[in-house]
Structure 1
């Protein structure tokens, strides 16, 4: 059976006589209304309520958390404990190095050898460093900032790692990657906008803190029309 949608049959064109008949009837009816008075457009049609198709079928389950990172909060070994819970006390570069080492031990490296070398030379070659300046924002609502790390890969991809202090240990709560146009924090949510294969649109993914799983999870993903950059001022 073909899955293509059938287009509705084309409506026949009105004949000239039919148009004249309608026009004449409108003129006769219009003669009963004084000029300048508003005319009724008739009864407005009532919008139908949404109708769910295949209601007997159960909805799809929520995507597993490991689509966007760890299934559970993952303590990062090789770093000192932080009893105060202030992640700013740790150097962000040491967190990146510890994460790369941990991924290598699990045989799940996030980067190839060339990329790892670039990251290791960040202190000596800051202009060539793919690691962005670390950001600190409260994403869990506990009044303490989380560490947000962005690492630029080839082909305009950006790896996003988010960490918090949990029971004194540095713990990863988000690990994702995308062709990112922008990243922002809005009302505690981490919003990632990505380029889309659909012309004129961009993907928008919202990550929110899930207190039950103790990680950041994807709350919603949608496609928006691309936001146009403001035009430069004259003379700029």
Structure 2
């Protein structure tokens, strides 16, 4: 005996079922989105900055520190800088005074110059305390090796020919060692972190900035920037317009060996 055929669902019931299913799916999707939003907002509250929180300290890059401000602003800075050459490693000064516990601050700079064959000719000049005449500027002290020890002694002498000699002395194994010798015209000298920077004019008329950095043996030039202003057609750089050039390495000219 055969069964009677199952009744076909009414169209109204099918439509109602689809509506209920769509509503349920939409509710589930809404709950999922809400959960994600709450998770994101919760993470923001845990790891982000909120009003009243203290921001983490930011490490700032060191800015230029003028070692002789009066000379830095002098209008007599001209005619360039000559960087020291590489040559042999600098040797300790044989007849230099003993270095006290507080480092080179406790040493007579004239005694150091007299013990240095390159610095000895400068001792004929008087000590000066301002720009405008020949003489030896007050010594400046700054950490240029970054070893955490006493700072280096920086001596600058203005010569009669409008040039300036800059010598840097450091203490190595308890002895005084010259680690830089450079010359220029009434140089502006500044320290940027543990780097030494000289500003002057090159022999070709460009404004020149040379940056020196401790290499474990001496202060070596690591950057030589030249800026040409008011150049005439045919001059170096871009003809007829201001230009600049930056090249790593020593400055133009032949300086002495540290």
> TM-score range, shorter-chain basis?
0.5 to 0.7
C-alpha separation in 2, matches of 1:168 and 1:77: 12
1:206 corresponds to 2:211 = yes
Structure 2: which 5+ residue stretches go unaligned? 1-82, 230-258
Structure 1 unmatched ranges of 5 or more? 1-65, 104-108, 227-236
Aligned to 1:77, which of 94, 98, 106? 94
Per-residue deviation, residues 19-40 of structure 1 (Å, max 9, x unmatched): xxxxxxxxxxxxxxxxxxxxxx
Q: Look up the match of 2:194.
A: 188
Q: 2:169 aligns with which of 163, 168, 173?
A: 163
* Rounded Cα–Cα distance in structure 2 between residues aligned with 1:173 and 1:155: 24
Indicate which of 86, 97, 110 corresponds to 2:103: 86
**Higher relative contact order (CA closer than 8 Å, sequence separation 6+):** 2
1:177 equivalent in alignment to 2:194: no
Larger Rg: 2
* Other-structure match for 1:139: 144
Q: 2:164 touches 2:187 (CA, 8 Å); kept in 1? A: no
Deviation track 1:79-99 (CA, whole Å, cap 9, x = no partner) reads 233263711121111111222
Q: Distance in 2 between matches of 1:161 and 1:209?
A: 14
Residue pair 1:190, 1:207 contacting (<8 A) in 2 also: yes
Q: Indicate the larger mover: 174-183 or 83-92.
A: 83-92
- Does the C-alpha gap of structure 1 residues 89 and 217 become closer, same or farther in structure 2, counting only changes over 3 Å? same
Alignment partners' CA distance in 1, 2:120 and 2:104: 23
Which whole-Å deviations, capped at 9, do the CAs of 1:98-141 have from their partners, x for residues lacking one? 22xx34xxxxx874xxx65x32xx37x98966111100000000
> Cα deviation per residue 1:145-169 (whole Å; 9 max; x = unaligned)?
0000001113321101100111111
